[in-house]
Structure formats: C-alpha cells, structure tokens
C-alpha cells in the first residue's frame, strides 16, 4: 500500500477510537515505520546458524504480527500508551499490506498500488471493525487468520480498514476483564485443580509403576508424557488462561520501542 493509504487508514482508526492528537501522530509514525526502516527476525539457516531476515510485507507471518499486538497490549496495560500505539501501528502496516494481492512475480503489484493510492479509507469498514471488536486474544487471532490478500483494490481497502479498526479496538480496550471472564476462569481453574491434575498425577504414577514392574525403566518418560497430555487436554482451562492474559500486567518490562 502507498504511504498515503497507511496514513489515511491510521487517521480514520485514530478518529474512531478518539485518540488524543499526540497519539494520532505516534500511530501514523508507527504505521510507516516498516517501510522506513523495516523489521527483521532471526532465523536459522540449513546449518543451524542464525541470520536476520527482513519481514515480507505482502506475506507477513501471522505470528510476527501477533507478537507486535501482544507487545502493544502489554504496554497499554502498563499505561505506556505511546509504546502501545507505536507497536500497534507497526502491526497494522503488515495487516494493510497483507490485504493486497501482488500476483505471481509481482506482475500486478504496481498497477494495484497505483489504483489503491487513489482510494480513500472505507468509513463503514472502520466503523464496523470498532463496533464488533472484542477484547480477546482469540478474537485478535481470528482476525489475523481471516487476513487474505485481495485482488480487487476495493476489497483490499475494505479488509485493511475493517481489520485495522477491529485490532486497534481490541488492543486498546479497557485493561480490566469482564466479570463473566473472571468467573469462568475461576471455574476452569478449580475444575483443572480438582479433576485434571489428580488424573494426570494418578495416570503418571500408574504408568510408571507398570513400566517398572515390566522392567522397562527406560520408558519412564512415557509416564511424564501421559501426564502432560492429560494436563494439555483441558482445553477450556488453557483457553481461559490465555484470555485472562489479555488483562494481566506482565512484570515491568523494558520499553518496547
Ligand atoms: Zn509496506
């Protein structure tokens, strides 16, 4: 996408969220940062040696965007609003570029970018994104999973606006959880403590005893694996733990910029 598109969408999102003027400026600067300086991630080559690879803008890794959004959320919970909006802006850049199909060998890329440059942000998509956003990491992850490159510039713009607005609302939502989430998390923790943990320990002890009686001490790690499997199988518990993390302050962290 052109810089003017990134800035236009960021301004519309900032208006929708009623961000103060200084944070609007940070959001606009953040949304342009990946084109100005680029982001790099550390990868391992065939010989397991680390190297730094530039993040691709039109096919970004969802995990990388999710990481930026978690950083933004953590900063928001700690009251570091500038850091939060800066990281959010960087994540939105990849969501917006990822909404544009480039075609094989970038054949249609330049023409589409030119056409997009003449388009304005879609106010309806901005409004819908803000209205239906949920303060939940599962919602954020579903938004990112729905991110697909679109061939028609109209669709690209609509998706970029919708997801930018929804993700911004989810990340900058109030830092306290709903009563329902608190209650559900407590219930899930209690069930896990009373049912799944004793089950996991019991199964591990039984399996370990059986293996020792059979004279197979080398297979003892299987008992630990069985316990871990039972612990992991409590999907509701792990779901609510993850949802609660959206509202939990991390230990005072270094600045995310
Ligand atoms: Zn870009």
Give the distance (Å) from ligand 1 centre to CA of residue 2: 8
Q: Percent of the chain, pLDDT > 90?
A: 75
Gap between the Cα atoms of 72 and 68, Å rounded: 6
Gap between the Cα atoms of 128 and 132, Å rounded: 6
* 94 shares a domain with 194: no
Q: Tell me: pLDDT of 251 over 60.
A: no
Domain boundary among 144, 171, 198: 171
Residue 255 maps to a domain: no
pLDDT at 98: 93
Residue 88 maps to a domain: yes
Question: Per-residue pLDDT averaged across 40-47, rounded?
Answer: 76
* 192 shares a domain with 162: no
Give the distance (Å) from ligand 1 centre to CA of residue 15: 22
pLDDT-derived band at 53, boundaries 50, 70, 90: confident
Residue 143 maps to a domain: yes
Domain boundary among 111, 144, 171: 171
Give the distance (Å) from ligand 1 centre to CA of residue 195: 49
Domain boundary among 122, 146, 171: 171
Q: Tell me: pLDDT of 107 over 90.
A: no
Residue 254 maps to a domain: no
Continuous H helices in the chain: 3-16, 21-36, 62-77, 81-97, 109-117, 123-132, 137-145, 153-171, 179-191, 197-213, 221-232, 235-245
Give the distance (Å) from ligand 1 centre to CA of residue 35: 5
pTM of the model: 0.82
pLDDT at 255: 46
pLDDT-derived band at 41, boundaries 50, 70, 90: confident
* 162 shares a domain with 191: no
* 164 shares a domain with 184: no
Give the distance (Å) from ligand 1 centre to CA of residue 127: 24
Q: Tell me: pLDDT of 55 over 90.
A: no
Residue 116 maps to a domain: yes
Question: Per-residue pLDDT averaged across 243-257, rounded?
Answer: 68
Give the distance (Å) from ligand 1 centre to CA of residue 3: 8
CB atoms within 10 A of CB 38: 10
Give the distance (Å) from ligand 1 centre to CA of residue 65: 13
* 153 shares a domain with 194: no
Give the distance (Å) from ligand 1 centre to CA of residue 136: 27
Residue 135 maps to a domain: yes
pLDDT-derived band at 108, boundaries 50, 70, 90: low
Give the distance (Å) from ligand 1 centre to CA of residue 39: 10
Enclosing domain of residue 205: 179-245
Q: Tell me: pLDDT of 117 over 90.
A: no
Give the distance (Å) from ligand 1 centre to CA of residue 155: 18
Give the distance (Å) from ligand 1 centre to CA of residue 32: 8
* 112 shares a domain with 154: yes
* 227 shares a domain with 101: no
Q: Tell me: pLDDT of 204 over 70.
A: yes
* 134 shares a domain with 47: yes
* 132 shares a domain with 79: yes
Q: Tell me: pLDDT of 257 over 60.
A: no
pLDDT at 250: 61
Give the distance (Å) from ligand 1 centre to CA of residue 31: 9
Token pair of 2, please? 């052109």
- Give residue for tokens 């999102």: 13
Looking at the structure of the chain, the number of domains it has is: 2
Give the distance (Å) from ligand 1 centre to CA of residue 6: 9
Residue 252 maps to a domain: no
Give the distance (Å) from ligand 1 centre to CA of residue 140: 21
Gap between the Cα atoms of 164 and 174, Å rounded: 18
- Give residue for tokens 């993390």: 245
pLDDT-derived band at 40, boundaries 50, 70, 90: confident
* 186 shares a domain with 166: no
Give the distance (Å) from ligand 1 centre to CA of residue 137: 25
Strand (E) or helix (H) holding 42: strand 40-44
Evaluate whether 22 touches 43 at the Cβ level (below 8 Å).
Answer: no
Q: Percent of the chain, pLDDT > 70?
A: 94
pLDDT at 253: 47
* 51 shares a domain with 120: yes
Residue 91 maps to a domain: yes
Residues with CB under 5 Å of ion ligand 1 are 35, 57, 97
* 130 shares a domain with 90: yes
């Amino acid at each position: 996408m052109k810089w003017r598109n990134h800035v236009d969408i960021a301004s519309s999102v900032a208006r929708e969220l009623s961000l103060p003027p200084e944070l609007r400026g940070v959001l606009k600067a953040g949304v342009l940062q990946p084109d100005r300086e680029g982001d790099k991630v550390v990868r391992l080559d065939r010989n397991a040696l680390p190297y730094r690879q530039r993040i691709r803008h039109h096919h970004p890794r969802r995990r990388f965007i999710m990481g930026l959004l978690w950083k933004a959320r953590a900063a928001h919970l700690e009251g570091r609003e500038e850091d939060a909006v800066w990281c959010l802006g960087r994540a939105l850049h990849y969501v917006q570029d990822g909404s544009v199909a480039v075609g094989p060998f970038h054949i249609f890329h330049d023409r589409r970018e030119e056409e997009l440059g003449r388009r304005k942000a879609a106010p309806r998509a901005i409004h819908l994104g803000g209205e239906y956003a949920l303060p939940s990491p599962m919602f954020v992850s579903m938004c990112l999973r729905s991110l697909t490159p679109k061939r028609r510039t109209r669709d690209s713009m609509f998706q970029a606006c919708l997801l930018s607005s929804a993700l911004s609302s989810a990340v900058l939502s109030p830092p306290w959880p709903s009563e329902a989430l608190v209650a559900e998390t407590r219930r899930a923790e209690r069930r896990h403590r009373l049912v799944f943990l004793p089950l996991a320990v019991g199964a591990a002890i039984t399996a370990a005893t059986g293996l020792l009686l059979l004279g197979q001490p080398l297979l003892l790690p299987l008992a630990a694996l069985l316990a871990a499997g039972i612990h992991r199988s409590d999907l509701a518990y792990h779901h609510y733990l993850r949802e609660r993390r959206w509202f939990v302050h991390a230990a005072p962290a270094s600045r995310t910029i």
